[in-house]
Amino acid sequence: MKTIKISILASILGLMSFTVLPTTSKIHHIATATSPIAWKSESIDLGEIPQNKPKEVDFEFKNTGKTAVIITNVKASCGCTATDYTKTPIQPGETATVKATYNAAAKGAFSKTVTVTTNAEDAPKVLSFKGTVI
């Protein structure tokens, strides 16, 4: 009698392990937000530039959003590049410029970046320029 109870209990426990639980399916929507900033060019090839003559690079963009864009920070990748940028709010439809001036002191190939932070994008935008000092 005891073995029958144990086998019935084992069968019940075995059947309980096969119960179907409701599954929940999570749908993740990935929003691809379009930036309200349209850069004319994010990478510029300067080609060959003369040594000991600073070269200015202009990164132009247009505010295609519905609110003003404010550039909060611009940082060059090294001390050989100075930066300047539009300090006033850029209204919808307006254009603005981030300038990088490269000190072409050393001969050879170079590749530099300028990181731009604005109130319009979560992640900073990395702009680049390259060339060869002759």
Cα–Cα distance for residue pair 85/68, rounded to 1 Å: 15
Q: Rounded to two decimals, what is the model's pTM?
A: 0.72
Architecture of the domain spanning 55-133: Sandwich (2.60)
User: Taking the domains of the chain in order of start, what are their residue ranges?
Assistant: 55-133
Which among 118, 119, 47 is positioned nearest to 127, based on CA atoms? Answer: 118
Q: How many residues make up the chain in this entry?
A: 134
Coil vs helix vs strand at 125 = strand
Q: Looking at per-residue confidence, does 90 or 15 come out higher?
A: 90
pLDDT tens-place string over residues 63-112: 999 999 999 999 999 999 999 999 999 999 999 999 999 999 999 999 99
Q: Is the pLDDT of residue 122 over 60?
A: yes
**Angstrom distances, CA of residue 67 to CA of 36, 37, 53, 89, 98:** 9, 11, 39, 10, 19
CB atoms within 10 A of CB 102: 24
User: Does residue 99 contact residue 57 with C-beta atoms inside 8 Å?
Assistant: yes
Which among 36, 39, 45 is positioned nearest to 65, based on CA atoms? Answer: 36
Which whole number is the average pLDDT over 34-58? 94
Percent of the chain beyond pLDDT 70? 75
- What does the pLDDT read at residue 49? 96
- What does the pLDDT read at residue 23? 53
Residue type, 1: M
Q: In what order do the strands lie in the sheet with 71-76?
A: 43-49, 125-133, 108-118, 71-76
